[in-house]
Amino acid sequence: LSIAFRFGGKTISGVGFELYQNQPNPFVNHTSIGFFLPEEAVATLSVIDETGLVVFQQKGWYGKGENNIALNRGLLNSTGLLYYRLETATDSATKKMIQMK
């Protein structure tokens, strides 16, 4: 079995892929999305609105361990309930966030 220690919503000794809840949530002007990768990889972050429209997408090469992507209001051009999905070649996870007016 794979075991990981978690403290305050973060993986301390991670052994697997993990997408964290954005901070702060809900947010007005900016938020941060953290994730843990067991190995360095190409990952794509997509932000999707309630209608299923992709309002933001960022693809990049991220290192093994903790990573973070900062988003600001201007990048999203949307408010209300949003979904964000992180995908690699082997893993995928989706969470919800709320952008306030």
Residue found by looking up tokens 């989706």 in the block: 94
Closest CA to 97 of 35, 88, 85: 85
- State pTM to two decimals: 0.84
How would you write the pLDDT of the chain (101 residues) with one tens digit per residue?
Answer: 555 666 666 555 556 899 999 999 999 999 999 999 999 999 999 999 999 999 999 999 999 999 999 999 888 888 899 999 999 999 999 999 999 98
Phi-psi region of 74 (alpha: psi -120 to 50; beta: other; left: phi over 0): alpha
Residue 20 burial by CB count (10 A; 0-12/13-18/19+): exposed, middle or buried?
A: buried
